[in-house]
Structure 1
Amino acid sequence: MNADARPLPEFPAWPQFDDAERSGLIRALEQGQWWRMGGSETDTFDREFAEYHGAARSLAVTNGTHALELALQVLGVGPGTEVIVPAFTFISSSQAAQRLGAVAVPVDVTPDTYCMDLAATEAAITPRTRAIMPVHMAGHFADMDGLAKLSEASGVPLVQDAAHAHGAQWRGKRVGELGSLAAFSFQNGKLMTAGEGGAVVFPEGERYAEMYEQAFLRHSCGRPRTDRRYLHGTSGSNFRMNEFSAAVLRAQLGRLAGQIDTREQREPLLSGLLAEIPGVVPQVRDERVTRNPHYMMMFRIPGLDEFKRNELVDALIERGLPAFAAFRAIYRSQGFWESAAPDLTVDDLAARCPNTEAIYSDCVWLHHRTLLGTEEQMHRIAEIVADTVAAV
């Protein structure tokens, strides 16, 4: 029987839930207060999430985009400033800055890890740069050693876009132990989810404690916790997470470590099998990444154009694989140019970002639930990818 004829065993579903989520929802319902200012689920989740990531504090918010926006805002990002972002990322990374009136400056990524290129980042710093935003692509850390040194030398702070990096570790350190703000997402496809949601984590230090207090005000319309007379101390918006989402996320956090363990076992097997396929190049792992939660299994087919790559993704889906086309270069989306864009053209940015140009055209990723499957399924995935690539 050939690879096409054999049925593909069903992958684990996503999102995953059990009685822990059910109990949490009932607990939130029966406490009688369904928003964070009266209930206890969101505050408890903040403490648990911060502890899990080695952070001093966490602030749960409505979604990951708002988490990025809030983190940038407490660093003083606004009109007249710039934020350096990788060109290969989901567009929220740039739009969080642009919605604050700051110019988003895209820089190239490395061709193997798909994370922010250090030399390109350094070259993009200007007197107007207020933040550098490394994105931990698919759970793989950007070069946090090099970026930390660059941040210290330039005086420009980092904001980690950790939307894919729940539970990740760099040289044994968790996201909250790396000395910079970080923003997470709990959108439906993420490694832990309540459908939507986000969080900003704050490392140790008095400066970050002050940022947390400012962030709390701004995420609650500028209103102090104990205010009874509408004395709004800052401008802000309503980014508060509700109690039901927090209750679900507490349950999701409880099974995250076990899921990461499984994906860490399966990914090397699948990556090795994919690497044996002519023309297929999996995402490379930096040896300094000591724990990768694997938000998506990413691989490239160098030389494939965007049209053929999209055909390949469609064919993989038809054969039962939850496959996706990689992100577009952010400067190739109309929304990037709507406001606060750099004074450059698409062609200018494309010339500066050759790796991004290649990756967004030839990269495919498989949903992380595939890595929760069996060893047999890893072999079947590789067989299907090999057969499909050969046919494109």
Structure 2
Amino acid sequence: MLDNGLDLNFPAWPQYDDTERAGLVRALEQGQWWRIGGSEVDEFEREFADLHGAPHTLAVTTGTHALELALQVLGAGPGTEVIVPAFTFISSSQAAQRLGAVAVPVDVDLNTYCLDPAAVEAAITPRTAAIMPVHMAGQICDMDALGKLSAASGVPLLHDAAHAHGARWRNQGVSALGSMAAFSFQNGKLMTAGEGGAVTFPDAEQYETAFLRHSCGRPRTDRTYQHQTSGSNFRMNEFTASVLRAQLARLGGQIDTRERRWPVLAEQLARIPGVLPQATDDRCTRNPHYMAMFRVPGISEQRRNELVDALVARGLPAFAGFRAIHRTKAFWETGAPDESVEAIARRCPNSEALSVDCVWLHHRTLLGEEEQMHAIAAVVSDALAGL
């Protein structure tokens, strides 16, 4: 409780109870701790697929590995390009770059922070192997436009759904939209085992290819080391899967709470002069709200960072928005396009703006009580006034 009576004692994250404990013991006592011979990973894949409308799910070690594996299945590699948002976490581009592909940043919509279909269309070349929509903070990209663009160009989509567990577009799960989707279970995500990832597949052939590649190219029943393709060890272990099964079971109720809280918080934030909360698209019929995001247009990057520090000092779990990927050293190490930083910046003005003026709050804030949404807005207003 703050001196002014505002309650910022939000629920802790990660959340767990005896369900996770029981799952860990169950995995321990089955006597097989890896997926070949165990049952937890298989059961988690089935349950996750059911929730997302996916014919097939493959659990893997991390969300970054999920993207890398999916891109490999799609043929991304040397001589190819992958279109990614300029405003995203760096894993979106690095997954392509580590395969030897060129990551091509394109701009996002300034209201939803999601991939701009017009910018995508302008970036497609004969070398484009995939288009990667990132469903920012749980807000699904314009899948009507991107789906039509993919069908017309023949370039497949790969959903970066690291923020979009349980999200729905026109009442369909991300994985029911006919494309592969990659999810993350890193410690801060909407469901977590500390690390972990998953890829959902629309058809069995892609799934089987991915299974081989995630297990060093080795078939499930192989006993004579008949490695059929190149790959790596991206297998999820049984303990991780047991925790994720428990996390998945409470995901729906948590999303329900966040969906009730975000409209209240967004309305309160919008009343603060100079603050613009992330917009929503009504076609996204279920938004899990991985982050509560807002902009302060016109603020400098230094002042934005000072604002984040002020919010943290007042008890809010606040963070600066992602830096545009072309503004990081990592992006230029390998697999960068033959353009200068400033050339990319000129064609990605919205991503440039978001790099400077965007702030986000951890999703556990949206698990608080409705009165706490008013408290959050009051703290943001006070912090801005104090800059």
Q: State the TM-score, normalizing by the size of structure 1.
A: 0.98
> Could you tell me which residue of structure 1 aligns to residue 251 of structure 2?
256
> Could you tell me which residue of structure 2 aligns to residue 81 of structure 1?
80
CA distance in 2: counterparts of 1:95 and 1:349, whole angstroms:
17
Report how many residues are paired.
Answer: 387
- Describe the superposition over 1:247-283 as per-residue Cα deviations: whole angstroms up to 9, x where unpaired: 0000000000000000000000000000000000000
Alignment match of 2:282 (pick from 276, 287, 290): 287
Structure 1 residue 137: Cα displacement: 0.1
Question: Are 1:183 and 2:182 matched, yes or no?
Answer: yes
3-state SS of paired residue (1:160): strand
- Describe the superposition over 1:138-178 as per-residue Cα deviations: whole angstroms up to 9, x where unpaired: 00001000000000000000000000000000111111110
Q: Is the 8 A contact 2:8 2:315 kept in 1?
A: no
> Could you tell me which residue of structure 1 aligns to residue 13 of structure 2?
14
Go from structure 1 to structure 2 and tell me whether the alpha carbon gap of 1:269 and 1:7 turns closer, same or farther (over 3 Å shift): closer
Structure 1 residue 8: Cα displacement: 2.8
CA distance in 1: counterparts of 2:168 and 2:218, whole angstroms:
35
Question: Are 1:233 and 2:232 matched, yes or no?
Answer: no
Structure 1 residue 7: Cα displacement: 4.8
Map of 1:63-142 to 2, 5 A cutoff?
Answer: 63-142=62-141
- Describe the superposition over 1:105-146 as per-residue Cα deviations: whole angstroms up to 9, x where unpaired: 000000000000111100000000010000000000010000
Q: Is the 8 A contact 1:161 1:182 kept in 2?
A: yes
CA distance in 2: counterparts of 1:339 and 1:169, whole angstroms:
35
Structure 1 residue 9: Cα displacement: 3.7
Q: Is the 8 A contact 1:39 1:243 kept in 2?
A: yes
One-letter code aligned to 2:151? E
> Could you tell me which residue of structure 2 aligns to residue 156 of structure 1?
155
CA distance in 2: counterparts of 1:105 and 1:6, whole angstroms:
48
| Percent identity over paired residues | 74
One-letter code aligned to 1:5? N
Q: Is the 8 A contact 2:168 2:174 kept in 1?
A: yes
**Is there any run of 5+ residues in structure 2 with no aligned partner, and where?**
none
One-letter code aligned to 1:338? E
- Describe the superposition over 1:201-242 as per-residue Cα deviations: whole angstroms up to 9, x where unpaired: 012xxxx21010000000000000001011100000000000
Structure 1 residue 390: Cα displacement: 1.7
> Could you tell me which residue of structure 2 aligns to residue 242 of structure 1?
237
Q: State the TM-score, normalizing by the size of structure 2.
A: 0.99
Q: Is the 8 A contact 1:4 1:384 kept in 2?
A: no
3-state SS of paired residue (2:252): helix
Q: Is the 8 A contact 2:140 2:284 kept in 1?
A: yes
Q: Is the 8 A contact 2:114 2:133 kept in 1?
A: yes
> Could you tell me which residue of structure 2 aligns to residue 35 of structure 1?
34
CA distance in 2: counterparts of 1:212 and 1:75, whole angstroms:
11
CA distance in 2: counterparts of 1:85 and 1:226, whole angstroms:
37
CA distance in 2: counterparts of 1:187 and 1:234, whole angstroms:
28
Question: Are 1:174 and 2:173 matched, yes or no?
Answer: yes
CA distance in 2: counterparts of 1:346 and 1:391, whole angstroms:
34
CA distance in 1: counterparts of 2:22 and 2:7, whole angstroms:
34
CA distance in 2: counterparts of 1:33 and 1:154, whole angstroms:
46
Structure 1 residue 6: Cα displacement: 2.7
CA distance in 2: counterparts of 1:248 and 1:89, whole angstroms:
27
**Is there any run of 5+ residues in structure 1 with no aligned partner, and where?**
none
CA distance in 2: counterparts of 1:233 and 1:78, whole angstroms:
19
> Could you tell me which residue of structure 2 aligns to residue 370 of structure 1?
365
Structure 1 residue 391: Cα displacement: 1.8
Structure 1 residue 38: Cα displacement: 1.5
CA distance in 2: counterparts of 1:293 and 1:88, whole angstroms:
20
> Could you tell me which residue of structure 2 aligns to residue 328 of structure 1?
323
One-letter code aligned to 1:377? Q
Q: Is the 8 A contact 1:313 1:325 kept in 2?
A: yes
Structure 1 residue 82: Cα displacement: 0.2
Q: Is the 8 A contact 1:321 1:381 kept in 2?
A: yes
Structure 1 residue 305: Cα displacement: 1.2
RMSD: 1.0
- Describe the superposition over 1:319-372 as per-residue Cα deviations: whole angstroms up to 9, x where unpaired: 000000010000011010000110011101100100000011000000000000
Structure 1 residue 73: Cα displacement: 0.5
Q: Is the 8 A contact 1:328 1:360 kept in 2?
A: yes
Q: Is the 8 A contact 2:191 2:244 kept in 1?
A: yes
